[in-house]
A and B are shown apart, each in its own frame.
Chain A
Amino acid sequence: MAYETFYSDLVCIGAGLAGERVAIEAAAAGFKTILLSLVPPRRSHSCAAEGGMQAALGNCAMGEGDSPDVHFADTVKGSDWGCDQEVARIFADTAPIAVREASHWGMPWNRVEAGKSMCFKGGVCFEVEDKAEKHGLITARAFGGTAKWRTCYTADGTGHTLLYTLDNKVTQLGITVHDRIEAVSLIHDGDRCVGCVARCLKTGKLRVYLSKATLIATGGYGKLYSETTNTVINEGGGHIVALDTGLVPFGNPEAVQFHPTGIVPTNILVTEGCRGDGGTLLDVNQERFMHIYEPEKAELASRDVVSRWMMHHIREGHGVPSPYGPHLWLDIRHLGEKHITTRLREVYDTCIHFLGVDPITQLIPVRPCHHYSMGGVRTNKDGYAYGLEGLFSAGESCCWDMHGFNRLGGNSLAETIVAGRHIGRAVADYLKGAETTLRTDLARQAVARDEERIKRIVSGADGKENVYDVRNAMQKEMMDNVGIFRNGTDLQKAVDNLRELLVRSKKVGLRSSGVGSSPELAMAIKISGMVRMAICVAYGALMRTESRGAHAREDYTARNDRDWLTRTLAYWRNPDADLPTLEYEPASPVFHLPPGDRGYGKCEIICREEMNE
């Protein structure tokens, strides 16, 4: 059993924005750092974010009077009080610094241009005037669920430019990057994590990374669903290895967000910026409808609210029929050719190339689809994972929990670099004190285990299930029964079916030889982990008998602060079990902003006793 071993102070599993930002912080502090990624870092999912990131700079006219306090309040309200308010506070305070730092590193943020300009909101045109003293500072645009215009952006390539900026920094610092590497298990002794076993996706060989600290920054797990805006590599690899330890909990798995405007049929997201800039939603009669449900915010209400009303409207029979099922229209025609081909160029290109639709003159077919995973590897406010020392997490894969049950648009890009900065420092501090012996004996055992598992899959020792059939069945189950509207009956059905799928997933056998990089084998290795994650989501949703943020139960429509102002912690303690153990902890250690009305969406609240004056 020959395998390569790589030693470092920190190994970051995941080289998206979060992973890279942590790596930069650790490397700058002098620690040997290795970044692992399924794809070259610049191809990470972060590059797909178009709209922008929130930071209370208050430079543009419509952002005047903004402050971290306002941003904090918006974030907490957005989370439907499900977030950790200490974390939200750290986040809101650090975001402006992180944005300026990115600028210092070369990020071409769009800037304030003094003088009058025309804006759209809800299809209405109005004039704003930017002040001369703010000219040339970083500007912002409107996004759903925010009191001020706070979303900093670079045209519609914010994630792309930010990721390139960070990766440039990583290159500058000479940080080692191993791409086409997939982590398949964590190495630990029950108390402490000392690295991971990974599979090289170029050669198919297993290798070992031994490190004093290990970071999980593997992004979201959108591919549990068939219709998702996420990239095809967002399969929850990091969550699986953490959950597999039996020690690290999966926080709030049921908190899954849907996006209102994925194009039909490919689910490519058209940015919220479309609506922020004044785009409107139309139904089969080409009439606006959002103002009926949300008189004040209309199309700009937070995305879970918009998604739900869209589905509601479709269910009421106002959807546009199509071979791919009913959808609605997004109308940006009135923004004009110049605006669409410059500020919304990405959207324009998407429509032309993937739909054959010209958004300057035609309507865009859209419908809600899975978009974001609020839940993840549960950590404390400094990114320390629960359950294992030396294990950290940051970014979308992490549940340090600033999003609670609903993330605001623009808050997750900001989260990646704010958390990366903050948690990166925590990691560096940890490393300063760390006296870990890098245990090669543990590594040997872990590799042997994984090698055995792979051998059985390749030889079909446990069965000949087709991995793609299992995956597709799981994705469909999640889409059909663990989607935007949830209810006990469907969720129960989903849990039952997924448990059956779990059995099948353990009988997967390859149809190809499995030699070399073998994409089929890569999928087969993680399939049962994916099904376990899906079960966590479905089971967590079934047990949470309330509606909060993106988690909307038709049979429990009220937000129940009395019983459910909590965070779900899903543990998979017994590898042979087919259900996780669910535990709960208070949503936040402190409530600077006491639970109340979000100011949008329907408002049915069962109050906590002590707050029920």
Chain B
Amino acid sequence: MSRQLKFNIFRYNPQDPNSVPHTDSFWLDETPSLTLFIALNRLREEQDSSLNFDFACRMAICGSCGMVINGRPGLACRTLTSDLPGEITLMPLPVFKLVGDLAVDTGTWFRATNEKIESWIHTDQEFDPEALEERMENDLANSIFELERCIECGCCVASCGTANMRADFVGAFALNRVARFVMDPRDKRSDADYFEVVGTDQGIFGCMGLLACEDVCPRKIPLQDQLGILRRKMGFIGLKNLFRRKV
């Protein structure tokens, strides 16, 4: 069973004036249940201690370890080498700013985008510690959770041709997030408010339906469906205004 795995890893340290982007190759004996998390840590500890990459939870829930694995953005921690060929090429996620080697700065990007789409519940209601919580149907709670499962790994953004071409496109992640708030009765934003946020070419109308986002999302968020629903909804809001002719 034991294969010799060959890793081709993108290397560049932007802080180091002597560093130029290149690819390094490493070899490693495959062991049972070997994930890229274990493999990369072994490489760093045993072969090259300058190797830079990100992991935190190592259980596919924190979204730290997105990278391009043999051409596909995905979570390294939950990629078993047994599912890959003997030669494995690892690249950092595009779109995001490079920190070093395979590590990219997703934090800044996501915070900025979340600010742009105002990713929070908008309500005037004050919290009353004495009162019972507002009721909600359990099915609705589950539907919200279904979209809230996004872990902001950035794979959808990195895999999206539009996002790669245009820096101002908010990406499938953000459109899904907006869809989540549209669904939530606690958020009092009106259709027009949402339209303002995503009814643009930086938002839903910028999406060209490439669907790489749908295909790479490690959480299997129903991006295709949400994007479709959102496009129709925003499309109709746009039309309604055409006929009513008011602000």
Contacts and interface: CB of A to CB of B under 8 A. Distances in A.
Direct contact of A and B (CB under 8 A): yes
Interface of A: 39-45, 47-48, 97, 99-101, 103-106, 108-113, 135-139, 154-155, 157, 160-161, 164, 168-169, 171-172, 177, 179-180, 201-204, 231-233, 265-266, 268-269, 323, 342, 346, 349-350, 353-356, 467-468, 472, 510-513, 515-520
B157 to A, nearest CB: 14
A269 B31 CA distance: 22
Chain B: interface residue count, which band?
Answer: 35 or more
Interface in B89-133: 99-100, 103, 105-108, 110-111, 114-115, 118-121, 123, 125, 127, 129, 131-133
B58 A353 contact: no
Interface stretch (B47-55, B161-169, B193-201, B202-210): B47-55
Contacts of B38: 266
Contacts of A510: 49
Contacts of A44: 56, 62
A164 B54 CA distance: 20
Contact of B35 (A45, A169, A266): A266
B105 A171 contact: no
Nearest to A50: B61
Contact of B133 (A103, A472, A511, A515): A103
Interface stretch (B147-155, B222-230, B232-240): B147-155
B120 A204 contact: no
B126 to A, nearest CB: 9
B136 A111 contact: yes
Contacts of A519: 44, 51-52
Contacts of B133: 99-100, 103-104, 109, 137-138
B148 A353 contact: no
Contacts of A112: 138
Contacts of B136: 108-109, 111, 136
Given A136-B138, A520-B49, 12 more contacts: A42-B152, A108-B144, A155-B145, A161-B148, A180-B99, A202-B99, A232-B55, A468-B49, A513-B16, A516-B15, A518-B52, A520-B44
B57 interface: yes
A157 B62 CA distance: 11
A353 B60 contact: yes
B45 interface: yes
B33 interface: yes
A468 B45 contact: yes
B141 A354 contact: no
Nearest to B138: A111
B14 interface: yes
A349 B149 CA distance: 13
B132 to A, nearest CB: 7
29 contacts: A39-B64, A43-B64, A47-B62, A47-B151, A100-B132, A103-B133, A104-B133, A108-B144, A113-B138, A136-B135, A154-B145, A160-B61, A171-B119, A177-B107, A180-B99, A201-B99, A231-B56, A231-B57, A231-B58, A231-B62, A266-B33, A323-B32, A349-B60, A353-B78, A515-B13, A515-B16, A516-B14, A517-B52, A517-B103
Interface of B: 13-16, 32-33, 35, 38, 44-45, 48-52, 54-64, 78, 80, 99-100, 103, 105-108, 110-111, 114-115, 118-121, 123, 125, 127, 129, 131-138, 141-142, 144-145, 148-149, 151-152, 184, 186-187
B35 A354 contact: yes
Given A39-B62, A103-B133, A171 B111 contact: yes
A178 B80 CA distance: 33
Among B16, B44, B111, residue most surrounded by chain A Cβ atoms (within 10 Å): B111
Contacts of A99: 133
Contact of A137 (B55, B111, B132): B132
A180 B38 CA distance: 22
Interface of B is mostly: loop
A217 B240 CA distance: 49
A227 B201 CA distance: 49
Nearest to A167: B114
Nearest to B56: A231
Contacts of A353: 60, 78, 80
B104 to A, nearest CB: 10
A40 B131 CA distance: 34
Contact of B56 (A43, A100, A266, A511): A43
A281 to B, nearest CB: 21
A230 to B, nearest CB: 9
A135 B59 contact: no
B154 to A, nearest CB: 10
Contact of B62 (A48, A266, A468, A516): A48
B152 A346 contact: no
A172 B120 contact: yes
Given A136-B135, A232-B55, A268-B59, A354 B16 contact: no
Per CB-CB distance, the 4 closest pairs between chain A and chain B, nearest first, are A136-B135, A516-B15, A40-B107, A512-B50
B100 A517 contact: yes
Contact of B142 (A97, A101, A155, A515): A155
A350 B144 CA distance: 22
A137 B135 contact: yes
Contacts of B49: 467-468, 510-512, 520
Contacts of A203: 15
B38 to A, nearest CB: 8
A515 B15 contact: yes
Contact of A180 (B44, B107, B123): B107
B141 A108 contact: yes
A354 B59 contact: yes
A168 B52 contact: no
A135 B129 contact: no
A104 B127 CA distance: 7
Given A40-B110, A160-B149, A517-B15, A169 B58 contact: no
B57 A48 contact: yes
Nearest to B147: A108
A212 to B, nearest CB: 25
A28 B38 CA distance: 42
A201 B100 CA distance: 10
A517 B104 CA distance: 11
B97 to A, nearest CB: 9
Contacts of A516: 13-16, 52, 100
Contacts of A231: 56-58, 62
Contacts of A180: 99, 105, 107
B63 A106 contact: no
Contacts of A106: 120-121, 184, 186-187
A168 B120 contact: yes
